[in-house]
Structure formats: structure tokens, C-alpha cells
Structure 1
Amino acid sequence: MTQQKKKIHYAWWLLLGVALMVGLAKGGIMTAGGLFLTPVTEDLGIGMGSLTLYFSISSIVTMIFLPIAGKIMAKYDIRVILVTSIILQAGAFAMFGLMNSVWGWYLFCIPMSIGSIFITQIAGPVLINNWFKKHSGLAMGIMVASGGIFGAILQPMAGNLIANEGWRITYFALGLGVMAVVVPVILLTIRMAPQQKGLQPLGSDEVQADNAASSQQQEVSGVTAAVAKKSSAFYALLLFFFFITAISSFGQHVAPFAMGLGYDIKFAGSAMGGWQIGVLIGALAFGILSDKIGAKNTAVFAMLLGLVPIAILLTVPENPLMFNLAIGIYGFVVASLGTLVPLLTSSLFGLKDYAQIYATAALGLAIAGIVALPGYGFVFELTGSYTSVLYAIAAMLVINVVLVFVAFKGKKKLEKAGLWK
């Protein structure tokens, strides 16, 4: 019995696999996309707004496919789904290196987005909720931090590779490299539920030791998806998802922003590395904070902190030290997206219909991508500056603080009405 307790629970090995999968896909593919914008637009003579429309198409595909994705995950083997998804995502990203027209980005972003839904959005939170009854906030934080770890390494490397070998070779290197590592990781470590390994979720035995009956109740407590979708809490959460995604979407424009100020691609790559270090620290901090002070207080803190880098970027962006500091803090704040979005969902609505509620609310993430990502590109194309974008982001941070309070007020209404069971 003592020996068994000392063994590392498989949940931690699963988390390692999830962290490698999400970290490489995010840090090596998704967040690296912004580094290519200026080189591609200059080389092929495409407008920034026109190229960034591929982000909008990605978001439309995500919005359409998200509700279907939840059903697919419930029906088929998780490993088959994830292997197929990383081939679609990383393979399509590599194909960008062969393109000579903007239509290539518009076309290949479709399979890339479908794969990304499973790899970077749905699988991680669902697997962590299945495997962790204890330390779920920390686990979520580690998963998000992995994107920061790999991004901090890969993005400066990508910036240097673009400068030395060109953007085409860099697309191939990142896409094929990520695929080669992630496929075996999925096959070796990922399992949908603890029961597949003859185990209980991490921490469930401790809860049962306290009160077996109440632990079983707690496992399925919450509101149904039908009830959640009619509540003010749900609409506040949907808007919060929209604005926090729009805020974090600026990450794809950091490189063009830096280069518009006169910095070179290597500096932009280093700045994005700093962003990812911020993501790494923030993900761990927000995971621990949410376990200590709750998702609500952590979300309010994150949004208010976001005003600091915006103020720096509006006042002293030409100072390289201050620019890097602001980008690092911004990355720290953006880490709250991956950590808080799933934790706010479970905190507001429980786990009864978590996957369905999360997948529906996550439409806010997709809609924001449709509007914000190309919107920022067109603003830059028309004005030659990101100043008005930064003011808009400051407003969204303040609105999100209000939305958090509205959401938790809506939760109280659900509890008073006896709809939380």
C-alpha cells in the first residue's frame, strides 16, 4: 500500500504528453505565424490586411467545427483523432512554404484550423478534467506554460532562420519538426480516461477518504448545457472569451509592430521569445493563483495587469528595453487565456456538461479571431500604426473586468433558482 502511494500517478505522465503536444503546436506553429507576416508581405507584395485574412478564415472554420469536434472526441479513439489532427495542423503549416499567392494561405489554413481545434483547444482541458480531481489549476497552468517554454526557444530560432534561410525553409522546418515529435508523444502517453489504465483520477482517493458519497455527487455537480446557455453567466463568459481572445490575438502582430518601429526580424523573434517567457511564467502563476484565490479574482487581476504593457507600448515603444519588458508582461497576461478560460467555465457551470458548455462558449474565441486578427492588419495597412489598436485593447481589458463580475452574479442566480445540481 505504501509502495503504491509513492508511485507517480499516470496523470502526471499524461500531463507531460499533453504539455509536449500543446506546447510544440502552440509555440512552434500557432504563435509563430506572426513572424512570417512582414517577410511574406514584402516578398510576395501582399497587403498586411489581405494576408491576415487567413486568420479570419481559420476562425470561421474553428467556429463551424467546434460543436462537431466535441462529438467526435466522445465517439472515436482520442489517439487516432490527435494524430490525424497534428498531421493536418503541422502539415498544412509546412505547406505555406510552397505558396506564391495569398490564396495558398486561405486554402491551407482550413485543415490547419481543424487540426488545431483538437490539439490546442479542446483535448488538453478535457483530458486534464478527466485525469485531475486535485491540482487541476496547476495542471492547466503547466499545459499553458509549455507553449511558453517551446515558444521561448523556437521563436527566436525561427526569427534567425527566416533572416538567414528565408521564410519558406522556416515554414518547412517548424511544420515537419513539430509533426515528427508530437505523433509518437500522442501514441505513447495520451489516454482519454483513467479507467483505460485501471486507475482513478488523481486526488479522487483523497476526496473519497473524506466523504465518499459527497465526492460522487461533486463529480457530476453543475448545470446542464441547456440551462447554462440561457443564463446571463453564459453570455458574459462568451463575451469574456471574445475579448480575451481579441486581446491575445495582438501576439500575431507583435513582429509587424516591432518592424514598423524600425526593429529587424531578429529583434522581433527575440521579442516574441520574451513574450513566450511571459506566457511560461504567467501560466504557472495563474494556475497556482486560481487554486489559491479562485478563477474570478485571478481573472480580474490578469485584466488589470494587462493595462501596464499597453501603457508602455503607447508611450515608449522606441526604447528596446521597455519594448521587450512590455511584450514580456503582455505574454504573462495572455497566459491567462489558456488557464482561465477552462477554469472559469468549470467554476461557473460545474462539470456536469462541461465539454458541451466549454465547446459552445469557445465560439467566442473563434468569433474574435474572425474580427480582431485581420482587423488589426487592416488598421496597420491603412494607418501605418498600431496605436488605435492598443487603445482598443485597453478598453477590452476594462470591459472584461466588468464581465467577470456579471458572470459570477449570473452563477448566483442559477444557484438560487436551484438549477445547480
Structure 2
Amino acid sequence: MTGALPHQGKIYSGWIVLSACFVSAMLIVGATIYSFQLFVIPVTEEFGISRATANNAYISMLVGLALWSPLVGRLLDKFNAKYVIMFGALCFGGAFTLVAVAQNLLVMLVGIFVMLSIAVCSCGGLAGNAVTVRWFQKRRGRALGIMSVTSSVGGAMMVPIVSYLITAYGWRMAMIITGWSVAVIIFILVGLFVRGRPVQTDIDNFDEFDVPEGGQESSQESGDDKTMTLKQIVTTRNYWLVAMGCGLLLASDQAVLTSKFPFLVDSGLTVLQATTIISTMTISAVAGKLIIGFMADYFDVRHLFALVALFHFLLLAVFLMRPDYWSLLIFVSIFGAAVGGIYPVWSSLTASAFGPASIGSVLGFMAPVMQGLSIIFVGFIGEVHSQTGAYDVAFQGFMVTVVLSVFFIYAMRVPPKSFGVPIKG
């Protein structure tokens, strides 16, 4: 008579936790980053301001994300992540309500900078990745790959919903309905299904963990004394290598993303063709997140980073060559995976270098460095176009930084397969 494995016929609790975090991040990202564009026209018309002034709201959120991420990341390590996410949900509803009823632009900016930024940090990718790293070890790569798809799914789902609400009820009421609908869904879902860390029975009854990285902390739903201090994090070699390596690649990605549509139109494509190219790249990016995430469970993540960087380099080279529409469509369907693959790679590299105990703090403290690089690159590509009337010089510069990013990542001290075990460096 053969004995059945303890987990046979059961669903690992980590997948349920991941599903709840997925929905939370999906709703938050879809209702903010992707839906922001829908409020620009009605707000500019009501207040009589320019598009550039309206964009200050988005910039305010980005700066807020850079400043609040370290604090939220620390809270995710020190306390039960469930309560941090639930608090963020309430901040989200409050932020959307404050912006909706405000009659002053400054009040709106303060609400976005403080409450909305905290909500996005607490309920979005930072929280989702931190929780996922703690719940997964053997399948961490594919779990992070799934988590990284939240942005794409959130945009596809929330944009049409928010657009309908604005058309039917006006932008102010649309914000209130969206804000509290999202807040209530997240609050209830996370409250019911999310636990910050696996307990010992989760570790014993399933084959997710090979090393006892969660054993000593599993019974603690709050933080533990193993969480690294800020000084320990920023003085660790791997912190700067990951932040700079992934930061350079992500910054290039963000800069290209902001200028992709005008570049394609300037290259002679019609609006429909340019839109099709962008849609194809989005689909390719989703595939890249899932495939690279799955591969991260079986290969050295540094090699996967190099593969993603190579695809990004080739994508920039294709843009410089300006091929015809059909050739470009084929190229972006392949190399577009570079746009998505970097996200699970970044989280996997960070988890491998620091382990689960301090993952929230490390990801949070990387935000100022990586957001700073993105702001510089986005400003650079805009300035290049203003001075030259084209993006070629910017693309060439980004190709250099992409190569440099690979050197940063290969300089990391990482064993062939760490499964999230902290690595000294």
C-alpha cells in the first residue's frame, strides 16, 4: 500500500493568496495608470488648464510612488501584509473621493501624492510581489510571471469600465464609484483570502519549499528580527547591481513606451497601423512575462536577464532600421517579449539575492533609484526629439545602457539555483 502525499488532492494555499493579490493589483493599476488618460480631457475642460498641467497629476503620483514605496515595503516586512493591503484599499477609496469633490487643483495633487500613491504601493505590484515571494519557492518564477500580468489585464478590464462611467455619470461621480467599488472588492477579498506568510502546515503539507527559509518565520504573521535594516540593504553589493541593472532596462522600456506611438506615426505608419503594432507588442509582452517567469524556475535568472536584454536591444535596432509595416509587425511580435520579461526577472533576482524576509523593504528601497532612472530616460528621449526631430540618438543611447545593464547583473554573487536563499554580497 503506497502512502499518499499530504498535499495530494488539495490546492496549495499560495495559489489562493496569489489570486487575491492578483485581483488587487489588477484593479489598482487598471484604475490608475491605465485609466488616468480618460480623465485628462474632462478635467482640462472643466478647469480650463492645458494638457501639460493635467499631466502634473501623473507626475505627482510617480514621485509619490518613489517616496512612499520604501515605507510601504518596510511595513510589508514588519506586519501582516493583509492589513497593509486593506489599509491601502481604504486610502484608494478616500483618494478618489477627495479628488472627485475637490474644487482646487492643489488639493487634487495633494490627494494624489499622499493617499493615492500610498494606495498604489500598498495594493499594487510591490505588495503582490512581496507576498508572492514568501509563498513560493519551487514555483516562484512562474508565480511572479503570473503576478506581473496584472498591469496588462487591469488595463484591458478597467479602461472600458471607467470610460463608460465617465460617459454615463460624469468624471467626478465616475471617480467616486470607481474608487469605492475597487476599495470594497480589495478590502473584502484580501481580508478573506490573504495571509502574509505561510504557516508551518502549509510548508509541511505541500512540496513548495526545499529549504527551511519559511520555517522560522512561518508562525509569525508580523515581522521578525531577520528583516534587514536600511543600512544593511543599501550597503549590500547586490542591491546596487540589481537596482542599476534592472533599472536601466526598465528605464529604457518606459522611455520607449512613452514615445512609441508618435515614433511609429513619424515613421510613416497610419494611426491604425501604429495602434496595431502597439497592441501586438502588448500581447507579446504578456507572453514574455509568463514564459520568462516559467523559465526562471529552471534556469539561472541572470541568463534570462541577458536574454530579455538581447530582445530589447534587437527591438531598438529594428526601430532604427525602420522596416516596412509587415516586417515591423513580425519583429515586434517576437522581440516585444522584452517589454514584459523584465518584470518577473527583476522580482526573481531580488528574491534570490535577499530572500523573503526583507523582500518588501528591498523592492521598496529600489523604487527611488529605478523611478529616478525612468524619469531621466523619459526626459532624455523627449529632449532628443526636441533637438533633432527624431528619436534615433535616444535609441542608440539606450542600446548602450542595455548592454551596460547586463554587466551589472552578471556582477551579482548568485549561486546557480538559490530558491530565494539570502546571498551575501
1:13 to 2, 9, 16: 16
Equivalent residue, structure 2, for 1:287: 293
Whole-angstrom distance in 2 between the partners of 1:352 and 1:19: 21
Q: For 1:189 and 1:340, locate their aligned partners in 2 and report how far apart those are by CA, in whole Å.
A: 26
1:144–1:339 Cα contact (<8 Å) kept: yes
Deviates more, 1:372-381 or 1:232-241: 372-381
Contact 1:26/1:120, CA 8 A, preserved across alignment: yes
1:313 aligned to 297, 315, 319, which one?
A: 319
Kept in 1: contact 2:315–2:332 (CA 8 A) = yes
Query: Counterparts of 2:86 and 2:383 in 1: how far apart (Å)?
Result: 35
Map 1:292-303 → 2, pairs under 5 A: 292-303=298-309
For residue 380 of structure 1, report the CA deviation from its aligned partner.
Answer: 5.5
Structure 2 residue corresponding to 1:57, chosen from 34, 57, 60:
60
Counterpart position of 2:221? none
* 2:133 partner letter: N
Corresponding position of 1:407:
412
Verify: 1:78 aligned to 2:84, yes or no.
no
Following superposition, the deviation at residue 12 of structure 1 comes to 0.9
Distance in 1 of aligned mates of 2:87 and 2:305: 34
Aligned-residue offset at 1:365? 2.3
Segment drifting more, 55-64 vs 301-310: 55-64
- In structure 2, relative to structure 1, the CA distance for the partners of 1:160 and 1:383 (3 Å cut) is farther
Cα separation, partners in 2 of 1:13 and 1:312, compared to 1, 3 Å: same
The aligned amino acid for 1:132 is: F
55-64 or 334-343, larger mean C-alpha shift: 55-64
Partner of 1:277: 283
In 2, Cα distance between the equivalents of 1:388 and 1:227? 39
Q: Which amino acid aligns with 1:246?
A: A
Deviates more, 1:374-383 or 1:345-354: 374-383
Task: Work out the CA distance in 2 between the residues paired with 1:62 and 1:180.
Answer: 22
User: What whole-Å deviation, never above 9, does each CA across 1:335-383 have from its counterpart, x for those lacking one?
Assistant: 2342122211122344454433333233322323443445555666676
Shift of 1:66: 2.4
Cα distance in 2 between the residues matched to 1:105 and 1:392: 37
What is the correspondence of 1:183-202 to structure 2 with a 5 Å cutoff? Answer: 183-195=187-199, 199-200=202-203
Select which of 313, 324, 345 maps to 1:340.
345
Q: What does residue 238 of structure 1 align with? A: 243
The 8 Å contact of residues 56 and 371 in structure 1, kept in 2 or not, is answered as: no
Residues 270/408 of structure 1: CA separation in 2 closer, same or farther (3 Å cut): same
| Distance (whole Å) between structure 1 residues aligned to residue 62 and residue 167 of structure 2 | 31
Equivalent pair of 1:94/1:175 in contact (CA under 8 Å):
yes
For the 8 Å contact 1:97–1:167, the answer to whether it is kept is no
CA contact (8 A) 2:93 2:179 kept: yes
2:122 to 108, 118, 123: 118
One-letter amino acid of the structure 2 residue matched with residue 124 of structure 1: G
Offset at residue 94 of structure 1 (A)? 7.9
- Quote the offset at 1:126 in angstroms: 1.8
Q: 2 CA distance for matches of 1:37 and 1:382? A: 27
Please give the root-mean-square deviation of Cα atoms over the aligned residues, in Å.
Answer: 4.7
Per-residue CA deviation, residues 172-225 of structure 1 (Å, 9 max, x unaligned), is 486566445434322332111222x953388557637xxx7x9969999x9965
- For residue 41 of structure 1, report the CA deviation from its aligned partner: 7.5
Of 207, 210, 229, the residue aligned with 1:207 is: 210
Contact kept, 8 Å, 2:71 with 2:364, in 1: the verdict is: no
Deviation at residue 78 of structure 1 after TM alignment: 3.1
How does the TM-score come out when normalised to structure 1? 0.75
Residues 6, 123 of structure 1: alpha-carbon distance in 2 compared, 3 angstrom cutoff: same
**Conservation of the 8 A alpha-carbon contact between 1:282 and 1:332:** yes
Compute the TM-score of the two structures, normalised by the length of structure 2.
0.75
- Give the 3 Å change call, closer, same or farther, for CA 34–184 of structure 1 in structure 2: same
Alignment of 1:9-408 (within 5 A): 9-33=12-36, 46=50, 48=52, 51-89=54-92, 92=95, 106-110=109-113, 111-154=115-158, 157=160, 168=171, 172=175, 178-179=182-183, 181-195=185-199, 199-200=202-203, 203=206, 207=210, 226-227=231-232, 229-250=234-255, 251-254=257-260, 273-316=279-322, 319=325, 332-351=337-356, 353-373=358-378, 376=381, 385-408=390-413
CA contact (8 A) 2:198 2:214 kept: no
Tell me if structure 1 keeps the 8 A contact 2:384–2:394: yes
Shift of 1:262: 8.3
Q: CA deviation at 1:275?
A: 4.1
| Cα displacement (A) at 1:139 | 0.6
- Contact 1:11 1:202 survives alignment (8 Å): no
What's the offset of the Cα at 1:98? Answer: 7.8
For residues 380 and 170 of structure 2, the distance between their equivalents in structure 1, rounded to whole angstroms, comes to 24
For the residues of structure 2 that align with 1:86 and 1:271, how far apart are their CA atoms? 35
Tell me if structure 1 keeps the 8 A contact 2:57–2:112. yes
| CA distance, structure 1, for counterparts of residue 302 and residue 126 of structure 2 | 22
Letter in 1 for 2:86: V
In proportion to residue count, which structure has more helix? 1
After TM superposition, give the deviation of residue 20 of structure 1 in Å. Answer: 1.5
> Matched residues in 2 for 1:134 and 1:289: separation?
12
- Given that 1:159 and 1:270 are in contact with CA atoms closer than 8 Å, whether structure 2 keeps it comes out as no
The whole-number CA distance in structure 2 between the counterparts of 1:168 and 1:4 is 49
Deviates more, 1:123-132 or 1:77-86: 77-86
Deviation of 1:135 (Å): 0.5
CA displacement at 1:153 relative to structure 2? 4.8
Query: Cα distance 1:135–1:66, how it changes in 2: closer, same or farther (>3 A)?
Result: same
